[in-house]
Copies of this chain bind each other. A is one copy, B any other.
Amino acid sequence: MKRIKIKELFIANPVGTKVCIKGWVRTKRISKQVVFIMLNDGSTIHNLQIVTEPEKFAEDIMQHIATGVSLSVCGTVIASQGGNQAIELQADTIEILGTATDYPLQPKKHSLEFLREIAHLRFRTNTFSAVFRIRHAISYAIHQFFHEQGFVYLHTPIITAVDAEGAGEMFSVTTLNMEQLPKTPQGQVDFKRDFFGQKTSLTVSGQLEAEAAALGLAEVYTFGPTFRAENSNTTRHLAEFWMVEPEMAFYDLADNIALAERFLKYVIGFALEHCKDDLEFLQKRELDARVGKQTDKSFLPLLDRLDNILTYPFACISYTEAIDILKASQPNKEKKFAYPIDEWGCDLQSEHERYLVEKHFTKPVIITNYPRAIKAFYMHQQEDGKTVAAMDILFPGIGEIIGGSQREERLDKLTEAIQSMGMNSNILQWYLDTRLFGTVPHSGFGLGLERLVQFVTGMDNIRDVIPFPRTPGNAAF
């Protein structure tokens, strides 16, 4: 008999029919008259309850059924006698596919730290199966959003000789034998003998290559891994993470902002529509964890936080307005900011962003037109001579979720910016070419996928929203 997925079974509710189910035992309860086995097959957060009489099967089968064991069960779908589901399965045959002696995932609450150490098994837990199904839905929605509007998905290079940010620590990539490095006559490492004939690194962004593509295909986006070799052991940093970077010819800053807001609402709406069960599970998990803890009056349950994103237009202010609000704010006057806001030009810290989003506006905030000095070389210089056409989108509890800008399309301004930052314009000659030949106004932004998954799932630590996190000292699995 063909296996049916538990998710499909709950949709069909085929009471009275014979089916075959395969999955992993979450729990077993046994009494003299009846055995209840909760089986999960990864297709949904919900388990299927299997009921049978203990004497119906050989004792060694019943004995071996325990948490973590994989089973193939055939039987008749019956209306549930209770429990959370409408149906359960009356077992005719039970086959043990794989045993699980000393299984580390016993049916009790495990800490997320412990589960991170067995990341290869955490796919079998409620929390992580929900998180990774939601991560999938978000990823799919991203592709669907861009595809529907005619964007071209572009695979920009991972190994690169370019440093897109002009800053940021990078991982080196080499095939040289590090125990016996070839040297130049001057005694330096001879990278001419490396695989690519030069020094190469892992990309920190596909933006520059995506711009080149946008200046031909008009609307493109990347969705791939990017890397930062920063020694940051925080709940918000990974050495390897996934970025989405759309680049659009003929978009100015306003077009860029409108696209980004529409994009975030679309993706979060998709998750709400397609992952209701998983989100409800994570919401309950979060609420349970708060029981008995000090209450924060502004706290909203997960689904309300997501609904709010869809309901209200984002606030949109200039950097200058942001500084004015922050300067006049209670915490600034009371000297409660670690970095007091005194004058125009300073960079916004996380505490300032959180104040604007969580206290002042209580919704996402878009900040535009930052000082030129604190932003990257490729941003479009405004007429005022001191700001650039940047835009950051700040989310409650997350901070910056999107950073973008209109790009500098004027060759002279761009060349000057590269030189004034002391960057190597030779290596960027191809990038300058795109402004030399048929340049057009264009814009783009970057979204860190894991930050968005954190927001949608409510998970505190970024290491819990990527299957196998890479952080300083950790490349396990």
- A residues adjacent to B (C-beta < 8 A): 3, 5, 7, 22-25, 41-43, 68-70, 97-101, 103-104, 118, 120-124, 128-129, 132-133, 135-136, 139-140, 143, 147, 150-162, 169, 171-176, 178-179, 181, 188-189, 195-198, 200, 202, 209, 212-213, 215-219, 224-225, 227, 229, 231, 239-240, 242, 249-250, 409, 430-431, 433-441, 466-468, 470, 472-477
Contact = CB atoms under 8 A, between A and B. Distances in A.
A162 B120 CA distance: 14
Contacts of A433: 118, 120-121
B430 A120 contact: yes
A331 to B, nearest CB: 37
A467 B213 contact: yes
Residue from the set A198, A249, A437 with the largest chain B CB neighbour count within 10 Å: A437
A367 to B, nearest CB: 26
B216 A160 contact: no
A392 to B, nearest CB: 25
Given A98-B409, A239-B195, A472-B195, A152 B173 contact: no
B229 A175 contact: yes
B179 A154 contact: no
A3 B252 CA distance: 12
A133 B220 CA distance: 10
Contact of A209 (B43, B434, B477): B477
A51 to B, nearest CB: 21
Nearest to A216: B123
Given A132-B213, A175-B229, A225-B224, A239 B430 contact: no
Contact of A42 (B178, B218, B229): B218
A156 B154 CA distance: 19
Contacts of A162: 477
Contacts of A231: 195
Contact of A196 (B179, B431, B475): B475
Contacts of A70: 438-440
B171 A173 contact: yes
A25 B154 CA distance: 23
Given A70-B440, A217-B133, A171 B195 contact: yes
Contacts of A69: 438
Given A152-B136, A239-B195, A468-B209, A172 B175 contact: yes
A463 to B, nearest CB: 12
A434 B155 contact: no
Contacts of A43: 150, 218-219
Given A22-B440, A161-B476, A195-B229, A178 B172 contact: yes
Given A160-B475, A174-B171, A123 B215 contact: yes
A396 B340 CA distance: 67
20 contacts: A24-B438, A41-B218, A42-B249, A101-B436, A120-B209, A120-B212, A121-B212, A121-B433, A123-B216, A135-B155, A140-B143, A140-B153, A158-B202, A171-B175, A171-B195, A178-B178, A195-B239, A196-B239, A196-B475, A209-B467
A466 B224 CA distance: 14
Contacts of A473: 195-197
Contacts of A129: 216-217
A189 B195 contact: no
Contacts of A229: 175, 195
Nearest to A430: B120
Closest 5 CB pairs of A and B: A123-B216, A98-B439, A42-B218, A124-B216, A196-B475
A240 B123 contact: no
A64 to B, nearest CB: 11
Given A98-B409, A157-B477, A477-B209, A175 B169 contact: yes
A68 to B, nearest CB: 5
Contacts of A42: 152, 216-219, 249
